[in-house]
Chain A
Amino acid sequence: MAVSVVRVRHLVRKELKQLLRDPRSRPILFVLPLVQLVLFGYAVNTDVRHIRTAALDHDGTSASRELLEAFAASGYFDIVERPQRPSDIVRSLDRGRVMLGIEIPVGFARDLDAGRGVSIQLLVDGSDSNTATVAGGYALGVVTAFTIQRSGEAGAASRGLVLDARAWFNPSFESRMYNVPAVIGALLMLICLLLTSFSVVREREIGTLDQLRVSPITSTELILGKTIPVMWVGVLDLALITVIATTWFSVPLRGSLVVLAAGGFLFILCGLSIGLLISTVSRTQQEAFLTMYMVFLPALIFSGFFFPIESMPSIFQWISYANPMRYFLEIVRALFLKGAGLAELYPQFAVLAAMAVTGIGLAIRRFERSVA
């Protein structure tokens, strides 16, 4: 079927005018992405720092004080309480005033100097399992470093096996490096859904859809006219978010900008075809809103945005294969941090491209059927 460029251009112009005039949609275009990016950039922070700690030092020697200072100096632990009895530590943990309790026994310095084995007690609030695990790990690191340093001072050769781990791509484990690129994916999806989910159903409700349908415009032209403006907005937002991510949040963009733009373009197409599908199957705007919500939330959860897909039950892992956001997040994370290119990312690109083409095709077919 021949597509009339003139008719599509008229529709695009009309859609853009409406997007920019509507006081409800205007903030979605550029303000929402900025606010969300800043919110996510700061709030979605899984870094564990400044763990509130209670320290009970029964020994009271220079060695025990040194160990506690080592804890404080690491930056991971803030010693906020100095209780007198072990039961006080338990009470502070119960009340949530501290996350961690350290108890150093009497004779700590003596046994250490004598080269005898000595243990200190660590009590961790396990109710926040993620933080507890990380805190335990950091505590172990502090203790290991302390031991090595002491044995070095004592002139003794370091005994046993020492693990020397180095993290590539994100050496200081900053969660922001991992999260900010992912926010790009979540935001693009949200914007595409918000701008397209209502676009057809709103016209159906106010009656302008019939007015368009009695005109010579075809379904393909109509869907194109609805798609192109949102695509432009999406691409502009992608650029805006990328600039903020690399400047304000200093997330390095190690990969190619062209590859990012290409991936973003495909992902935007996926997002807006999902939105258009929602809009063509919904009879009312409320219905469209609910459906959009039911689509966006799982898309976010099964994308690896918050939780790693690898640790999900296998059925959910299978579901995530149908989620375009999963592939886009893989692309942006690899692109920003690892500097990956098409050579590594072509599978994800292939899937996104297939999804985009299928999605737009389905939206047009579905639209034709919904109005027949």
Chain B
Amino acid sequence: MTEAVRVSGLTKRFGDFTAVDRVSFAVSEGEIFGFLGPNGAGKTTTIKMLTGLLEPTAGSATVAGLDVRRHRAAIKSRIGYMSQLFSLYLDLTVEENIELFAGLYGVRGARLTKRREWVLEMAALGRQRKQLTAELPLGWKQRLALGCAVLHEPPILFLDEPTSGVDPVARREFWDLIGRLSEEGTTVFVSTHYMEEAEYCHRLALMHGGRIIAMDSPGALKASMEEPLFEIATDDAARAVEALRVSQGILEASMYGREVHAVVADEKWGREHLPVLLTRAGLECRSLRSIAPSLEDVFVSRVRRAGAQE
């Protein structure tokens, strides 16, 4: 399979602050590649360097086989971009936004008609075409923004936290659209801080502090977590986490809804000692079971391991 994006040693420094630190990875054509990490992990900065919005400090990157430093202009017509800010013109109508971006990308004539209808159908905005964009709900605006980003049928699509601030149903619909684009052959490069969204990606890079701390498919990432994980039901989850964090032998404890997730080095040890530790802290251990890790557990565990290595 050919590579849509190849990045090696990519670095961006703003003064003393290193936003992206020697990042390397490759994305295959047609893949949905996800960047998962908290705000400030360097996801947006990396995407901005790949789309030509920021100049890299060091390292190299190619997009569609073209060098981001030397072939900026040529890359522009081969990529689509949608940022976390909703960035269409609110004082233009749905159709006017589509026609403006089509015009900027040189989509016109019969192709314009075809693409406009395709976008309106895909974003389910056919009846809103004459409406001012400002009047649309946020989820609809995001679909329109996605539509405008793919008007010129770019082989590679960059989405920077495209669903931030959107409700779960709209988010689900949005990911259906991304899946559809990917099936049609578009490479999708997407960043998110929603763990459940990361599950839709073919491959994930976990970003933390400007670095990639793990990279694999969601399934493989979860399988790679060696330490056993327990889910504990207790009467006071917050106090339980506090108590477990300072206890010997507990690698990680965090709240997960009303339950507590605890990572230990050895399953047998955990089954014996966890209830004891809780009782000692004056808490009740209602149930204790070993569970498969979620992406969030993997992320937390990888951050801990990356921290330990430093």
Contact = CB atoms under 8 A, between A and B. Distances in A.
A212 B76 CA distance: 10
Contacts, number: 70
A17 interface: yes
Nearest to B48: A210
Interface stretch (A105-113, A213-221, A269-277, A284-292): A213-221
Given A214-B52, A216-B77, 9 more contacts: A4-B106, A18-B89, A206-B85, A206-B87, A207-B86, A211-B88, A211-B101, A213-B52, A216-B105
A207 B91 contact: no
A211 B83 CA distance: 8
B134 to A, nearest CB: 10
Contact of A17 (B55, B90, B92): B92
Interface in A1-41: 4, 6-7, 9-11, 13-14, 17-18, 21-22
Contact of B79 (A6, A13, A214, A217): A214
B104 A10 contact: yes
Interface string B167-187: 000000000000000000000
Contact of B85 (A14, A207, A212): A207
Interface of B: 51-53, 55, 73, 76-77, 79, 81, 83, 85-92, 96, 99-101, 103-106, 108
| 5 interchain residue pairs of minimum CB distance | A207-B85, A10-B103, A207-B87, A214-B81, A211-B87
A207 B101 CA distance: 15
Contacts of B106: 4, 6-7, 216
Nearest to A225: B104
Contacts of B101: 211, 215
A17 B89 CA distance: 11
A216 B104 contact: yes
A343 interface: no
Interface in A193-228: 206-208, 210-218
Contacts of A210: 53, 81, 83, 85, 87
A10 B88 contact: no
A208 B83 CA distance: 9
A214 B85 contact: no
A7 B103 contact: yes
B72 to A, nearest CB: 10
Contacts of A211: 81, 83, 87-88, 101
Given A207-B87, A213-B52, A214-B51, A14 B100 contact: yes
A372 interface: yes
A211 B162 CA distance: 13
B102 to A, nearest CB: 9
Nearest to A4: B106
A366 B308 CA distance: 46
A263 B96 CA distance: 36
Given A6-B103, A207-B86, A214-B79, A18 B73 contact: no
B86 A214 contact: no
Contact of A217 (B55, B91, B104): B104
B71 to A, nearest CB: 12
Contacts of B53: 210, 213-214, 371
Interface string A355-372: 000000000000000011
